[in-house]
Copies of this chain bind each other. A is one copy, B any other.
């Protein structure tokens, strides 16, 4: 239970890291949307392992197949099944830790919850599950772009203590993908890449912050009081593996301001009501206000490190686990398309909800 996201644009991911395949069913995509497998592949390629020298060397081509819901290049309004076959699954790499709980992984909690787990590569808890999210997110992005003109850009804002300088109002997807760390501040990117390589060499790992902006979101999206736009975005972010925090607009930093410093004054421009500043991050009272929606998601350093660590086995006996095999020293570059996907899924869902209620949009 819990593998479905969204109320009207409903996304259900399936598949284990070292099972036969991973994928997603998208239910509720508006009919008549042009959709080709290439639309999906672009984002899968940005998420896929082995794409650069700073990501894991697991070799997956991650070729998407669309098995239903599209006819003559258009969505039918029926469920869209997108699947990817696992190719480079080496279950044997995990044989030696079959009964050990890897620290800060989900081995122990899955065992505690289900009484059983696929011990190969984290099974369902692996970030490989996000293949389905990214595929669905690509569909959502297309729908948002076509129906509302919304554009979503995510990028690495911070790796470890290295912070980038980025203007969310102007940053472009091309700038993001211009380097392997997906940081549109070229100087920071160089330092981040260097730091990641250093961490890899040390068998260690690094966390960071992804920032994402949705531009062109109309005012009126979000369903108070529980399904606020920012609340659903927060859930979407924290549902991503390794994410430990999220903030919208001013976020934790806004705590240090007073109300008179923090409030966003309204003004009129070109027949539209705008705010002079955007500390609200495009959301007020849980509803979009027409400004850019901006969020940041914090990712912890990956739990997989190539170092001996203290742990226990399934019976509680002390043990030392020896990391080895392929590992991702820093997931941030690959997390960018995942953050974008979750943002798109939330926005498209709220677009459909608002349209249902208002009869417009």
Contact = CB atoms under 8 A, between A and B. Distances in A.
Contacts of A199: 258
A300 interface: yes
A357 B1 contact: yes
Interface in A273-291: 273, 275-276, 279-281, 283-290
Among A105, A123, A238, A358, residue most surrounded by chain B Cβ atoms (within 10 Å): A238
Contact of A258 (B204, B265, B281): B204
Interface string A63-77: 001011101001011
Given A109-B287, A202-B258, A265-B309, 11 more contacts: A4-B226, A7-B7, A13-B79, A30-B359, A77-B357, A104-B259, A160-B258, A204-B260, A233-B238, A244-B251, A259-B301
A8 B357 contact: yes
A221 B223 CA distance: 23
A262 B245 CA distance: 15
A194 to B, nearest CB: 15
A174 interface: no
Given A14-B68, A266-B310, A227 B1 contact: yes
A97 B13 CA distance: 36
Contacts of A281: 244
Contacts of A245: 245-248, 251-252
Interface string A320-339: 00000000000000000000
A3 B305 contact: no
